[in-house]
Structures are given as structure tokens and as C-alpha cells.
């Protein structure tokens, strides 16, 4: 019986192809010269090079964290190439001049790069290895004053904004991987929503790692000015290689007075094969700062890929009456390991946070929720509600919950609920006895289990997420 | 008039975890009949029900079973269900996160599809299910709850009968449909089952007690012991069992065997 289950969750990885494209790759290894080279290639201003070098020097003094509940061989940071870019023949003036091989790659992945073909209402920034290759709908967004471009362009065209906010949420020395990213990040997305503007379309970044021995270190910075709103989507895939690749991104969100940022991720990096060979190490720092009063930041993530996931999208609730939310589905199979969760740091008064985490473990995988809820001494009337549910498929996988709760103000209300369930033979037999086969049964059970999170996703993403889990929506919309 | 055979069981033996539980069962059920299978704990009643439905933990070691002329053991559990064999569970499992309405509709549409009939969309299905709810005196709010999650024992049993009413099977095997029910719930469940009795279908009631049979009069009462049917009678046998217990039937069987 468990083989039926195993087959069901073992949907083959569809994005595992490699694009044959000429790349400009910096030789492996990391030192100050490499960082200067990256900075020079990107024609960066002096202050940014300084930012990188300081981060690098700090990184050298740091230890790789050992506390996550994951196991992997020590990473040789000198065996990684820190820059890989598709060779551009000349400067691109429009989408039509993008290398057709690249366009085909993203078409295969279902990412629309041609604006006329694009999903209505979604602007896309596409990151291929280390650089951003295209951003759609720029013109239309510019009309309402929304800036949405690659990080490199932002450094060039809006240096003051970048300088003001870069590192303001995740400081260069925040943690081992954030420091590494700050030293070597190559590109990413930048998004700025001016005062009072409700972004007219969903913004989306699509990340693709193509080169075998390169790491991907991108940086995303989103700033929402007073009374603005933006919904941002992030998707990720990578080819199948039998070596592990490092993805160490940093995402910073800043919400000012009465602003709202909704950040959704469907992560489908290559997870390694059935024996656990290859796959992406996804060591990412994501943090949002609710700086202004009444602001709100909401993270929704569906984590299905990666050999190892190690990330905690967090909210720092600085302004009074601010709201932080975290909705997560993490699916692990085979030898995958996930140690993921969130941090909700309440600093302002009347701050509220909600955490809903759904972990699904199958095969020999290990899935941990780790979350911190911290109520500061001045956070009067803070509230948190956390719910962590685990589901086990088969009997060789593991699920753990590590909640940390620190309360320094007696007016706080903190709730934590946790549950563990299992898709068992008896459940599948119950479905079968009502005429429903195992595949549809598992689909329905998992959809039901994840429903609270899926309803938080924008429509197209919800569909993609459901498909990603190898499931059909049929029946659960009742 | 030729009677239509629904189920024919011949010399059925089966085991679970290496232990032989069913030791040669013979039973024929015709359309329109109600059979009660009674017997002490551990006599193999529930095992028999689960083997017919195809529970993967039970291994059929010998014998034949035909369901409406088809070899039952050629059919996967879900195929048996689609062909019209229904098992009302003694202990229905909980399925958190899946609403009753979506579960019932998926089951209904799957079975309808297998019968070559039209599926119902959510609105049509709601109309259909409301009538069935009334039959079992159930609150419509119950449809939005997760399948069996947090249900009382009585609610779980009523939910089984609701599914029976929705799926309209040819053969309903109800495993202890009456256990754990108070007198009102028993009346409701029993009335629900009685209303589904028709000349075209058959019902097998697996039960410990006679009280359910006050509401649903069986055509046959079988006594099971140690994996065999050791006595068959009519409604009167059930009453006799209630007053005298099971031991005398077993003694009678043993002396017959010895002779």
C-alpha cells in the first residue's frame, strides 16, 4: 500500500533541463578580488563595493550555523563560482532582442516573457543565474510611478533609494548566509511603490539557476511607501545536476505607514534524486519590516523543492498596530530536509501576528517547523496565534516542531496549537470503499490539509501550487 | 419468478497478520433480502465484512465470492464500491480538512460516473443531499464540517447511513451500525436503513444485539462463531439468542460436528 503512496508523491521533476547558452562565468573561488571583479562587471558605485567588502570581512569572522535540524557535508565556499551571466551580444532595447534560447527556456518553464503573451495583470522580472534578463510591463507600471526593475538597474537608476534601504532590514552581518549574500549578490529585483499607490498588477520574479557550479545569490528589495499596496510573487526552478548548488538569497521588505505588502513564493528548485544526490541548498534570509503605523506584511510560501530548505520569512512589527502574517506549506520527499518557519518580533503596541504552518513529509525526508514569537517589553496588547500542523505519508519520514516563545510584556496574548496526522491505510481504504482511488484520495486529503494556506495565494499561484503537490483541485472546491 | 442473486460466498477463508480468522464461510444473498449476522466478539463478523470490501490488511486464502455474477476478488476495493458494494464502517476514520460536502460529492460523482450516469455540480448535489439529510434528521451545517472529525459516535454512524442513502448501493454491509447509539439515534439510523430497503438491493447487518432487528426485520439470522456460520434461522433466532446467549448454539454445533 505504501508503494501506492510513494508513487503518488514521486512526480518527476519537469524543470530539470539545462539551457545551452554561452555564459560569462567568473572562476571559482571567493576573495576580495572576486568581489571587486563582480562590482566592476556591474559598474557599481564605490559605496556598494564598500558594502560588499565590509560584509565579506565580517563573513570571514562568522561560523556556519549548526543549529538547523538538517545534515549536509561541509560546503567548500572556494569551489563555487560567484558570477554567471548569459553573454549578451549587445545591449538589449526590447524583449525581441533577448537571446531566443533564453526565451525558449522560459517558455518551457511557462514563464511569459513577451508582454503580449503574459498573463493579464502580472509583470515579470526574470533572473537567469546571476543576472536579471528581462522585466515586463515596465512602461505601464511607470505610469503610476511604480518602479519595478532588476537590482542592477535600480543601483544605476535609483541609487539613493537603494542606498537608503539596502541592509536596513537584513543588515550585512545579520547571519552567515546573509553576510555571504551581501558580499557577492549579483542581481535580483527591486520594487518601489510610491505614496498612496495601489500597484495595478501582481509583480513577479522568476528565478532560474542554470550553470552547474554557480551559486545564486540574489537580492530582493521592496519598499512600500505610505498607504501603498503591492502583491509580489516569486517562483524558482533549476536544472537537475548531481552536485549540490547553493542558493543564498536575501529578501528585504519595508512597509511604511498604512502600507501593505503581500509576498508569495512557490519554490520548486531541484530537490535531488531519489537517493538524495544533487539538488539545491536553499539558505535564504527573508525579512519584512513593518516600519510605519498600521502597516501589514504577509508571507505565503509553498516549499516543494530544494535538497535542503533553511529559511524563516519574518516580520519585525515596529510600528504600532502593525500586522505580520506567515502562511506556509512545506512538502519534503525522498531525502529532502526542511527546517523552515518564521519569526514574529513584536515591538510596537497593538501588534498582531498569525502563523499557519503545514508540513508534509514523505519518503525518508525530514520536515521541521521552527518559529520564534517575541513580544518586546514595550509591545502592549500584542497578540499572536500560531498553528503548526504536520502530516506524515509513510512511516520512514520525520516531522518536528520547534516553537520559541519569548514574552516580555504581561499584556500579551500568545496562542500556539500543533497537530500531527498521518495519511494511513485506513483513510485510503475509507475513500476506496466510497469509490475513490488512492490518487484522488491523497490529493483531496493534502488539499484539505493545506487549504488555509492555498486560499492566501493569488489565483494563478494557487493553481500552480496545487499542481506542484501533484494534485488536482477537483473536489476540494465544494 | 427467478430471484436475482447479489452475493454468493463459497468456502471463504481469510487471515490477517498470519492468523486464520475466517474458516470456511458459505452464504447466498438474493435481491430484496435482509440478512443479520450475529455472534460473540472475535467470531469473525467484522473480518468477513472487511474481506468483502477488500481491506488490504486481510488476505483471502481460499474460496470464491461472486458479486452480481462477477468474481469479487478480481476487483480492487474502489471497483467493488463503484459496482455497488457498500460497507458501513464500525469505526469510520476521521479525515481532517476535507469537508463532508466535498467528500460526499466526490464519492457520489465517482460512483455515478461508473454507472454511466451524469455527475452533479455542487448546487445540484446540494439539492440532492438536503433530502437525504432530512431522512436522517441531520443539521445541514454538518456538511461543512470535516469528514467525521470531532463527530460523536452517533454522528459518525449517521454519517455512514447518509453515505449509504446517497450512494444507493446494490449491497449494503453495515458493520455494527447500532453500536454506541442512544435510543433516539438508533431509531433514526434504523429508519434510515429501512427506507432504503427495496426489491432490487440487499442488506447485511452485522450486529451484536437484537435491538436493531426490532426496527429492521431480517429475512435470515446467521450465527457466526470461530470464523464459520454455525446456525441460520429467522427473526425468532435473534430473540432466542438475546434470552439464551450464544453458548448453546456453539454447543449444538460441536455435538453436530462430533456426530
B53, B92, B97 member nearest A448 (Cβ): B97
Task: Kindly state the average pLDDT of the residues B87-92.
Answer: 95
Query: Chain A partners of B105 at a C-beta cutoff of 8 Å?
Result: 475, 478
- Calpha distance A196→A28 (Å, rounded): 46
**Domain assignment present for A475:** no
In a domain, A473, yes or no: no
Q: How far is CA A284 from CA A143, A252, A280, A341, A357, in A?
A: 33, 11, 12, 12, 18
Please list, in sequence order, all residues whose beta carbon lies within 8 angstroms of the beta carbon of residue A5, skipping any fewer than 6 positions away.
Answer: A362, A393, A394, A423, A428, A438, A442
| Chain A contact set for B77 (CB, 8 A) | 429, 432-433
Are the Cβ atoms of A477 and B97 closer than 8 angstroms?
Answer: no
d(Cα A133, Cα A102) in Å, to the nearest integer? 9
pLDDT of residue A214: 64
Nearest to B99 among A419, A430, A478 (CB): A478
The shortest C-alpha distance from A97 to chain B (Å) reads 48
pLDDT at A91: 44
Residue B74 confidence (pLDDT) above 60: yes
Which candidate in A387, A433, A441 is best for mutational testing of the B interface (most B CBs within 10 A)?
A433
Judging contacts by C-beta atoms under 8 Å, the chain B residues touching residue A466 are none
**C-alpha span between A38 and A60 (Å, rounded):** 18
Please tell me the distance in Å from A298's CA to the nearest CA on chain B: 23
Residue A476 lies in a domain: no
pLDDT in tens, A155-176: 999 999 999 999 999 999 999 9
pTM metric for this prediction: 0.79
Arithmetic mean of pLDDT, A272-300 = 89
Residue A192 confidence (pLDDT): 97
Query: b/e per residue, B159-187, with b = 16+ CB within 10 A?
Result: bbbbbbbbbbbbbbbbbbbbbebeeebbe
Residues 6+ apart with CB under 8 A from B16: B47, B57, B58, B59
Is any Cβ of chain A less than 8 angstroms from the Cβ of B78?
Answer: yes
Hey, what CATH class is B5-91+169-258 in? alpha beta
Burial of residue B127, with CB atoms counted within 10 A of its CB: 0-12 exposed, 13-18 middle, 19 or more buried = exposed
What's the pLDDT tens digit per position in A367-426?
999 999 999 999 999 999 999 999 888 788 899 999 999 999 999 999 999 988 888 788
Whether residues B98 and A476 touch (CB distance < 8 A) is answered with yes
Cell of B165: 442513502
Give dist(CA B139, CA B155) in Å, integer: 11
Print the SS3 string covering chain B: CCCCEEEEEEEEEEEECCEEEEEEEEEEEECCCEEEEECCCCCCHHHHHHHHHCCCCEEEEEEEEEECCEEHHHCCHHHHHHCCEEEECCCCCCEEEEEHHHHHHHHHHHHHHHCCCCCCCHHHHHHHHHHHHHHCCCCHHHHHCEECCCCCHHHHHHHHHHHHHHHCCCEEEEECCCCCCCHHHHHHHHHHHHHCCCCCCEEEEECCCCHHHHCCCCCEEEEEECCEEEEEECHHHHHHHHHHCCHHHHHHHHHHHHC
Mutate to test the interface with A, among B17, B46, B98, B126 (most CBs of A within 10 A): B98
Question: What is the pLDDT averaged over residues A7-24?
Answer: 60
**CA-CA distance, A146 to A197, in Å (whole number)?**
8
Specify the DSSP element, H or E, that contains A157: helix A151-157
Beta strand A218-224 with A250-255 is: parallel
Strand partners, A163: none
Q: Cβ separation of B95 and A448 shorter than 8 Å? A: yes
Kindly report, residue by residue over A310-333, the tens digit of the pLDDT: 899 999 999 999 999 999 998 888
- The pLDDT value recorded for residue A69 is 87
Rounded Cα gap, residues A448 and A306, in angstroms: 24
B81 — contact with chain A (CB < 8 Å)?
Answer: yes
The answer to whether residue B130 scores a pLDDT higher than 90 is yes
Mean pLDDT, residues A135-154 taken together: 85
Confidence of residue B133 (pLDDT cuts 50, 70, 90): very high
Instruction: Tell me the pLDDT tens digit for each residue of B164-211.
Output: 999 999 999 999 998 888 888 899 999 989 988 999 999 999 998 888
DSSP 8-state symbol, A74: P
- pLDDT score recorded for residue A57: 97
Q: What's the CA gap between A21 and A88, in Å, rounded?
A: 10
Option in B54, B81, B97 nearest A434 (CB): B81
Burial status of residue A280 (CB atoms within 10 A of its CB: 0-12, 13-18, 19 or more):
buried
Q: Do A429 and B103 touch (CB under 8 A)?
A: no
Residue A475 and residue B78: Cβ atoms within 8 Å? no
Per-residue pLDDT tens over the stretch A228-279: 999 988 876 656 666 677 889 999 999 999 999 999 988 776 767 777 777 7
Q: Kindly list the distances between the CA atom of residue A33 and the CA atoms of A28, A29, A41, A82, A387, in Å, as whole numbers in the listed order.
A: 12, 10, 12, 12, 47
Q: What is the pLDDT of residue A454?
A: 84
Sign of torsion over alpha carbons A173, A175, A178, A184: positive
CA B259 distance to own-chain centroid: 35
The count of other CB atoms within 10 Å of the CB of residue A354 is 16
List b or e across B44-56, with b for residues whose CB sees 16 or more CB atoms inside 10 angstroms: bbbbbbbbbbbbe
Q: Choose the mutation target among A420, A431, A435, A471 for the interface with B, i.e. most B CBs under 10 Å.
A: A435
Q: A residues 140-159 near B, CB within 8 Å?
A: none
- Least CB-CB distance to B105: which of A419, A437, A478? A478
B76 neighbourhood in chain A, CB within 8 Å = 432
pLDDT tens digits, one per residue of A23-43: 677 888 899 999 999 999 889
Cell 544533487 identifies what position? Answer: A278
Q: Does residue A12 register a pLDDT over 80?
A: no
Q: How many CA atoms lie within 13 A of B139 on its CB side?
A: 6
Q: Work out how many domains chain A is built from and give that number.
A: 1
Q: Where are the alpha helices (DSSP H) in A368-474?
A: 425-433, 438-454, 459-468
CA distance A74 to A281: 12
Reading the block at residue A171, the C-alpha cell is: 543588515
Q: Do A444 and B93 touch (CB under 8 A)?
A: no
Please indicate, yes or no, if residue A239 is contained in any of the structural domains: yes
Least confident of A388-392, A464-468, B53-57: A464-468
Domain assignment present for residue A265? The answer is: yes
Q: How far apart are the C-alpha atoms of A329 and A303, rounded to whole Å?
A: 6
Rounded to a whole number, what is the distance in Å from the CA of B238 to chain A's nearest CA?
A: 29
**Three-state DSSP class for residue A298:** strand
B122 vs A437, A444, A478: nearest CB: A478
B97 touches chain A (CB under 8 A): yes
Residues 6+ apart with CB under 8 A from A171: A178
Question: pLDDT tens-digit profile of A84-134?
Answer: 776 654 444 455 555 666 566 656 655 555 544 444 445 666 666 555 556
Percent of chain A at pLDDT above 90? 46
Task: Please state the domain extents for chain B.
Answer: 5-91+169-258
Cα gap B253→B259, rounded to integer Å:
10
Nearest-CA distance A354 → chain B (Å): 19
d(CA A366, CA A400): 8
* Residues facing residue A326 across a β-bridge: A299, A355
Q: How far apart are CA A93 and CA A73, in angstroms?
A: 44
The pLDDT of residue B96 is 84
Q: What percent of chain B has pLDDT over 90?
A: 79
Contact A436 B105 (CB under 8 A): no
pLDDT of A109 reads: 56
pLDDT at B214 over 50: yes
CB contact under 8 A, B103 and A444: yes
Strands (E) in A322-382, as ranges, are 323-332, 337-346, 352-361, 366-375
How high is the pLDDT of residue A86? 62
Owning domain of residue A102 = 2-468
CB contact (8 A) between residue B95 and residue A427 = yes
Chain B residues within an 8 Å CB radius of A450: 97
Q: Cβ contact (<8 Å) for A448 and B99? A: yes
d(C-alpha B92, C-alpha B156), whole Å: 7
How does A90-124 read in b/e, with b if 16+ C-beta sit within 10 Å?
eeeeeeeebbeebbebbeebebbbebeebeeebbb
| 417-476 of A, contacting B, C-beta below 8 A | 419, 421, 424-427, 429-437, 440, 444-445, 447-451, 474-476
Find the residue in B nearest to A444 (Cα).
Answer: B98
Chain pair A-B, CB pairs under 8 angstroms: 87
- Which of A263, A254, A314, A261 is closest to A290 using CA atoms? A254
Instruction: From A126, A123, A114, select the one nearest A209 (Cα to Cα).
Output: A126
Q: Look at A3 and B109; give whichever has higher pLDDT.
A: B109
Mean pLDDT throughout A291-320? 92
- CA-based nearest distance B245→chain A, Å: 33
Q: If you average pLDDT over every residue of chain A, what do you get?
A: 83
* Interface contact A475-B111, CB threshold 8 A: no
**Residue A95 has what DSSP assignment?**
G
Question: A378, A357, A246: which is closest to A312 by C-alpha?
Answer: A357
Report CA-CA distances (Å) from A401 to A3, A80, A369, A404, A447.
27, 33, 5, 10, 21
Cell of A181: 549574500
CA–CA distance, A22 with A238 (Å, rounded to integer): 17
Q: List the beta bridge partners of residue B87.
A: B173
How far is it between the farthest Cα atoms of chain B? 64
List the grid coordinates of A147. 518602479
Would you tell me how many other CB atoms lie within 10 Å of the CB of residue A2? 14
Q: CA-CA distance, B241 to B60, in Å (whole number)?
A: 30
Cβ neighbours, 10 Å, residue A191: 24
List A233's β-bridge partners, or say none: A204, A264
For A478, name the nearest residue in chain B, comparing CA atoms only. B102
Q: Looking at beta carbons, which residues of chain B come within 8 Å of A476?
A: 98, 102
Amino acid at each position: 500500500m505504501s508503494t501506492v503512496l510513494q508513487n503518488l508523491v514521486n512526480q518527476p521533476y519537469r524543470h530539470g533541463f539545462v539551457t545551452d547558452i554561452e555564459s560569462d562565468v567568473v572562476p571559482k573561488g571567493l576573495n576580495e578580488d572576486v568581489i571587486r571583479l563582480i562590482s566592476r562587471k556591474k559598474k557599481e558605485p564605490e559605496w556598494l563595493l564598500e558594502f560588499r567588502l565590509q560584509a565579506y570581512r565580517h563573513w570571514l569572522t562568522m561560523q556556519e550555523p549548526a543549529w538547523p535540524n538538517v545534515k549536509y557535508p561541509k560546503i567548500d565556499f572556494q569551489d563555487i563560482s560567484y558570477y554567471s551571466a548569459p553573454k549578451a551580444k549587445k545591449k538589449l532595447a526590447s524583449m525581441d532582442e533577448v537571446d531566443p534560447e533564453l526565451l525558449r527556456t522560459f517558455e518551457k518553464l511557462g514563464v511569459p516573457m513577451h508582454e503580449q503573451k503574459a498573463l493579464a495583470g502580472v509583470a515579470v522580472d526574470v533572473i537567469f543565474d546571476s543576472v536579471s534578463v528581462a522585466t515586463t510591463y515596465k512602461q505601464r507600471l511607470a505610469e503610476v510611478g511604480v518602479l519595478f526593475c532588476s537590482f542592477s538597474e535600480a543601483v544605476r537608476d535609483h541609487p539613493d533609494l537603494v542606498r537608503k534601504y539596502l541592509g536596513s532590514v537584513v543588515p550585512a552581518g545579520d547571519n552567515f548566509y546573509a553576510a555571504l549574500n551581501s558580499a557577492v549578490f549579483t542581481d535580483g529585483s527591486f520594487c518601489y511603490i510610491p505614496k498612496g499607490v495601489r500597484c495595478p498588477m501582481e509583480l513577479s520574479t522568476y528565478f532560474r539557476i542554470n550553470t552547474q557550479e554557480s551559486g545564486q545569490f540574489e537580492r530582493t528589495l521592496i519598499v512600500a511607501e505610505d498607504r501603498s499596496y503591492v502583491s509580489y510573487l516569486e517562483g524558482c526552478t533549476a536544472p537537475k545536476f548531481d552536485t549540490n548548488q547553493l542558493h543564498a538569497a536575501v529578501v528585504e521588505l519595508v512597509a511604511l505607514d498604512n502600507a501593505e505588502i503581500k509576498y508569495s513564493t512557490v519554490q520548486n528548485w531541484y530537490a535531488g534524486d531519489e537517493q538524495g544526490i544533487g539538488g539545491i541548498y536553499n539558505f535564504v534570509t527573508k525579512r519584512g519590516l513593518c516600519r510605519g503605523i498600521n502597516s501589514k506584511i504577509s508571507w505565503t510560501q509553498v516549499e516543494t523543492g530544494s535538497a535542503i530548505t533553511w529559511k524563516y520569512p519574518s516580520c519585525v512589527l515596529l510600528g504600532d498596530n502593525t500586522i505580520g502574517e506567515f502562511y506556509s506549506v512545506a512538502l519534503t520527499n525522498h531525502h529532502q530536509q526542511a527546517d523552515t518557519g518564521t519569526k514574529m518580533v513584536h515591538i510596537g503596541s497593538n501588534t498582531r501576528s498569525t502563523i499557519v504552518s503545514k508540513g508534509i513529509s514523505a519518503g525518508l525526508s525530514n520536515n521541521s517547523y521552527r518559529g520564534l514569537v517575541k513580544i518586546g517589553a514595550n509591545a502592549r496588547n500584542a497578540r499572536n496565534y500560531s498553528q503548526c500542523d504536520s502530516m506524515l505519508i509513510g512511516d520512514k519520514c520525520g516531522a518536528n516542531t520547534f516553537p520559541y516563545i519569548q514574552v516580555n510584556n504581561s499584556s500579551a496574548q500568545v496562542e500556539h496549537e500543533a497537530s500531527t496526522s498521518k495519511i494511513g491505510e485506513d483513510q485510503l481504504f475509507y475513500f476506496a470503499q466510497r469509490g475513490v482511488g488512492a490518487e484522488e484520495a491523497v490529493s483531496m486529503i493534502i488539499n484539505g490539509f493545506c487549504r488555509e494556506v492555498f486560499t492566501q495565494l493569488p489565483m494563478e499561484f494557487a493553481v500552480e501550487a496545487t499542481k506542484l503537490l501533484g494534485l488536482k483541485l477537483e473536489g476540494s472546491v465544494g | 419468478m427467478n430471484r436475482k442473486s447479489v452475493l454468493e460466498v463459497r468456502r471463504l477463508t481469510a487471515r490477517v497478520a498470519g492468523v486464520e480468522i475466517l474458516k470456511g464461510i458459505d452464504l447466498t444473498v438474493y435481491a430484496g433480502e435482509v440478512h443479520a449476522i450475529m455472534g460473540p466478539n472475535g467470531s469473525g463478523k467484522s473480518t468477513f465484512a472487511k474481506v468483502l470490501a477488500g481491506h488490504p490488511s486481510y488476505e483471502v486464502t481460499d474460496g470464491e465470492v461472486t458479486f452480481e455474477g462477477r468474481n469479487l476478488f478480481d476487483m480492487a476495493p474502489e471497483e467493488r464500491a463503484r459496482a455497488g458494494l457498500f460497507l458501513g464502517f464500525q469505526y469510520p476514520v476521521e479525515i481532517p480538512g476535507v469537508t463532508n460536502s466535498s467528500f460526499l460529492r466526490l464519492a457520489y460523482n465517482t460512483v455515478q460516473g461508473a454507472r454511466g450516469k451524469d455527475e452533479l455540480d455542487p448546487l445540484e448535489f446540494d439539492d440532492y443531499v438536503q433530502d437525504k439529510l432530512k431522512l436522517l434528521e441531520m443539521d445541514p451545517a454538518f456538511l461543512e464540517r470535516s469528514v467525521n472529525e470531532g463527530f460523536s459516535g452517533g454522528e459518525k454512524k449517521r454519517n455512514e447511513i447518509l453515505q449509504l442513502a446517497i450512494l444507493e448501493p446494490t449491497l449494503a454491509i453495515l458493520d455494527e451500525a447500532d453500536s454506541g447509539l442512544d435510543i433516539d439515534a438508533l431509531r433514526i439510523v434504523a429508519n434510515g436503513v429501512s427506507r432504503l430497503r427495496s426489491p432490487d438491493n440487499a442488506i447485511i447487518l452485522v450486529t451484536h444485539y437484537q435491538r436493531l432487528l426490532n426496527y429492521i426485520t431480517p429475512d435470515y439470522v446467521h450465527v457466526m462463531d470461530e470464523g464459520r456460520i454455525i446456525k441460520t434461522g429467522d427473526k425468532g433466532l435473534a430473540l432466542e439468542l438475546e434470552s439464551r446467549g450464544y453458548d448453546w448454539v456453539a454447543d449444538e454445533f460441536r455435538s453436530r460436528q462430533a456426530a
